[in-house]
Copies of this chain bind each other. A is one copy, B any other.
């Protein structure tokens, strides 16, 4: 899911929790005050929304199948974010804990490779689209 509003860890927990699941793993990606030694004032996330949602869904389905998970929730912010704000929440649930950790890490790793979302960093020396230039 893409959202212009703050993301809620509790909502993600409610979505994935189930009586048959003993292990829930969450990853929360937040905005850091420093990147590559440069002070960051704020960030902007831009998404090619329909394709981003499709790619996120593909990752969730792949993670469920590959790690035998019960449920996967993947929420990403768009728009302007301040330092400390939550950019992404991955939540997965599973019978046991090992696949929960593996599945959660798989989801965030894949998101960073394939989902068409772009991050623009605002620093004292100007703005930069992350990962764009060598």
Footprint of B on A, CB under 8 Å?
A: 9-10, 13, 17-34, 83-84, 95, 97, 100-101, 104-105, 108
Contacts and interface: CB of A to CB of B under 8 A. Distances in A.
A25 B26 contact: yes
Contacts of A28: 13, 23-26
Copies in the complex: 2
B23 A29 contact: yes
Nearest to A98: B105
A13 to B, nearest CB: 6
Contacts of A19: 32-33, 83-84
Question: Which of A20, A23, A30, A31: most chain B CB closer than 10 A?
Answer: A30
Closest CB pairs A-B (n = 4) = A26-B26, A24-B28, A19-B33, A22-B32
